[in-house]
Amino acid sequence: MTSLKGRNLLTLKDYTPEEIRYFLELAAKFKKLKKDRVPHDRLKGLNVALVFEKNSTRTRCSFEVAAYDLGMHCTFLDPKASQLGKKESIADTAAVLGRMFDGIEYRGYGQERVECIAKYAHVPVWNGLTNEYHPTQILADIMTVQEYFGDEKGKKLVYLGDARYNIGNSLMVGCAKLGLHFVVSAPKAYFPSPELVAECEKWADESGGSITMSEDPMEAVEGADVVYTDVWLSMGEPERIWAERIRDLSAYKVTMDIMKKAKKDAIFMHCLPSFHDHETELGEKMGEIFDIADMEVTDEVFQAYRDSIFDEAENRMHTIKAVMAATLGYED
Ligand code: CP
Ligand code: NVA
């Protein structure tokens, strides 16, 4: 395989199945090194910038810990405390950062923003989540599937909820490229765009996977290896559409009845953060307004599947480390 040095990771659409598997193999090696406390700081002297226009816990911590483990320094840029977007365009900011840093992570709004950074920075740029895609999340998800089942190929992954956004889109791309059977279960209006489905169907044909859309959640999860969901309202979407989302998506909540339809050894995954109780400001507020105990997943399911959910969260760090290492020329 040709080196990935110098490449951006804006979406998994730009990567071959072989390249995606390379990231996953490298992530597994890094995970072992970390567990064995073997230093792997071969990128000493490099610097990375982390630009977050939206909040983050996992992605930011993953980039920071991974950068430090690799021997790099990182600088966090919060738009509130920088010129980005207010006094300086994304293109000019990217040109500046590209002169100082060896790689740039960006989390924000439209995909065109991360593409603009990649165009003007001339160093590897990593998408830490846009409205359309969240590629590093999907690497962690597939790594988790590999850990639980040995191999991701041929596994049935059912995604319930709003499948038109970053997680639904990216999961469909990743599953199609790696030969999983990807099933969306949602009302028709929440299916991914027909254009993206058509692209993914081609990759699924090549990999032996498949793409299916179903409005019937019970039928969709029959025999699933993995049941996956995400929040019903993503960062940046207006709170006034909560009522509409609760009305449209409540039938697609992951409950124990849903999990019973999946295979006996099925796992539940969630990119997190999740609304499964009232232990957050928003959860409490939504609970009061709509008189609901949870949203996309019940607390019963969440607590029963904590292992797979938090393995997945941990794997964010190992996979992000692999992405930075491979694109910055880490010699394996
Ligand atoms: N899953 C995920 O991206 O989490 P954060 O928003 O905390 O980074
Ligand atoms: N769809 C969610 C994913 C969070 C990791 C959001 O964009 O807020």
Render pLDDT for 237-291 as a digit per residue (tens, 0 to 9): 999 999 999 999 999 999 999 999 999 999 999 999 999 999 999 889 989 999 9
Q: Ligand 2, closest atom to CA 230? A: 1
Yes or no: say if 203 and 170 are a contact pair by the CB < 8 Å rule.
no
230 has catalytic annotation: yes
Yes or no: say if 247 and 261 are a contact pair by the CB < 8 Å rule.
no
Number of helices followed by number of strands (H, E) in the chain: 13, 9
Of residues 148, 160, 126, the one with CA closest to residue 14: 126
Of residues 166, 168, 159, the one with CA closest to residue 132: 166
Q: Is the CB of 271 under 6 A from ligand 2?
A: yes
107 has catalytic annotation: yes
Instruction: Pinpoint the residues of the chain covered by CATH 3.40.50.1370.
Output: 12-133+316-327, 137-314
Question: Residue 261: what pLDDT?
Answer: 98
Of residues 148, 122, 172, the one with CA closest to residue 225: 148
* Closest ligand by atom to 128 CA: 1
* Closest ligand by atom to 56 CA: 1
DSSP element (H, E) containing 224: none
Question: Residue 116: what pLDDT?
Answer: 97
Residue 234 CA to ligand 2 center (angstroms) comes to 5
CA dihedral (30, 36, 37, 42) in degrees, to 10, reads: -30
In angstroms, the CA 115 to CA 93 distance is 13
Question: Residue 81: what pLDDT?
Answer: 78
Question: Residue 2: what pLDDT?
Answer: 78
Question: Residue 78: what pLDDT?
Answer: 86
Q: Check the CA dihedral 318-106-126-190 and report its sign.
A: positive
Q: Is the CB of 127 under 6 A from ligand 1?
A: no
Q: What is the pTM of this model?
A: 0.97
Question: Residue 312: what pLDDT?
Answer: 98
Residue 58 CA to ligand 1 center (angstroms) comes to 5
Q: Ligand 1, closest atom to CA 313? A: 1
Percent of the chain with pLDDT over 70: 100
Which residue out of 53, 127, 133, 167 has the highest number of ligand 2 atoms within 8 Å of its CB and is therefore the one to mutate? 167
Q: Which two tokens stand for residue 272?
A: 């997190």
Question: Residue 234: what pLDDT?
Answer: 96
Residue nearest to atom 6 of ligand 2 (CA): 234
Yes or no: say if 114 and 52 are a contact pair by the CB < 8 Å rule.
no
Of residues 170, 309, 325, the one with CA closest to residue 227: 309
Residue 105 CA to ligand 1 center (angstroms) comes to 13
137 has catalytic annotation: yes
In CATH terms, the superfamily for domain 12-133+316-327 is Aspartate/ornithine carbamoyltransferase (3.40.50.1370)
Question: Residue 11: what pLDDT?
Answer: 98
Which residue out of 271, 315, 319 has the highest number of ligand 1 atoms within 8 Å of its CB and is therefore the one to mutate? 271
Question: Residue 177: what pLDDT?
Answer: 98
CATH topology of domain 137-314: Rossmann fold (3.40.50)
User: Which residues does the chain have with pLDDT short of 50?
Assistant: none
